[in-house]
């Protein structure tokens, strides 16, 4: 009888270990895009800890500097912007057409200027007027295409300072 009890206990332990390992695999796959900005970030390197890796620019100059909450991406737009052609963008994630998204970040500008966040050249992109004080912003928008997250302004000489960018599927 003791033998059967020990065998049952070992069998239950083995089954429990398999369940735990399966759970760990599921969690690992679910949060594969985790970075220092937090779990569930759809874009890679939103905290700029890997410099400009996974970020690109058109029509401007950029650099990574030490910021208030970690690394900071500084982008100065040069020239006239036509339909979001001068921009910062992160090609690590393509939007799903019709999906609602939430983007959160810390930002400031060198002068008061309106900046847009969303799929490039999107009429549904979220917009915010930034001033010279670094603040946290959270905005929602609905994708009207499958383009990547882009950040742009129509001000031909504006500079934006970005930290801790996170893109997630909007809840509710």
Which residue has tokens 């990547």? 148
Cα 11 to Cα 19, 139, 153: the distances in Å are: 12, 51, 62
pLDDT of residue 102: 93
- Beta-sheet strand order (sheet of 60-66): 60-66, 71-77, 159-169, 100-109, 135-142
Q: Using CA atoms, how far apart are residues 101 and 103, in angstroms rounded to an integer? A: 7
Q: Confirm if 170 and 124 have CB atoms less than 8 A apart.
A: no
pLDDT of residue 19: 63
* Tokens read off for 82: 């036509």
Q: Confirm if 65 and 71 have CB atoms less than 8 A apart.
A: yes
pLDDT of residue 116: 86
Residue 55 is given by DSSP the state -
pLDDT of residue 87: 84
Question: Residue 25 above 50 pLDDT?
Answer: no
* Tokens read off for 103: 């983007």
pLDDT of residue 30: 39
Which pLDDT band, with edges at 50, 70 and 90, does 50 fall under? very high
56 conformational bin, left if phi > 0, alpha if psi -120 to 50, beta if neither: beta
Mean per-residue pLDDT of the chain = 81
pLDDT of residue 154: 75
Q: Which pTM value belongs to this model? A: 0.74
Which pLDDT band, with edges at 50, 70 and 90, does 138 fall under? very high
Q: Using CA atoms, how far apart are residues 75 and 158, in angstroms rounded to an integer? A: 8
Q: Using CA atoms, how far apart are residues 102 and 138, in angstroms rounded to an integer? A: 7
């Amino acid at each position: 009888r003791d033998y059967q009890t020990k065998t049952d206990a070992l069998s239950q332990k083995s089954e429990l270990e398999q369940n735990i390992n399966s759970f760990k695999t599921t969690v690992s796959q679910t949060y594969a895009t985790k970075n220092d900005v937090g779990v569930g970030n759809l874009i890679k390197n939103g905290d700029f800890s890997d410099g400009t890796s996974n970020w690109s620019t058109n029509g401007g100059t950029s650099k990574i500097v030490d910021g208030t909450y970690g690394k900071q991406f500084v982008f100065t737009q040069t020239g006239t912007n036509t339909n979001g052609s001068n921009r910062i963008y992160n090609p690590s994630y393509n939007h799903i057409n019709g999906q609602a998204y939430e983007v959160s970040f810390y930002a400031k500008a060198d002068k008061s200027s309106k900046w847009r966040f969303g799929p490039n050249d999107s009429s549904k992109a979220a917009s915010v007027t930034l001033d010279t004080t670094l603040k946290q912003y959270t905005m929602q928008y609905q994708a009207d295409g499958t383009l990547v997250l882009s950040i742009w302004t129509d001000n031909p000489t504006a500079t934006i300072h970005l930290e801790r960018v996170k893109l997630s599927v909007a809840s509710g």
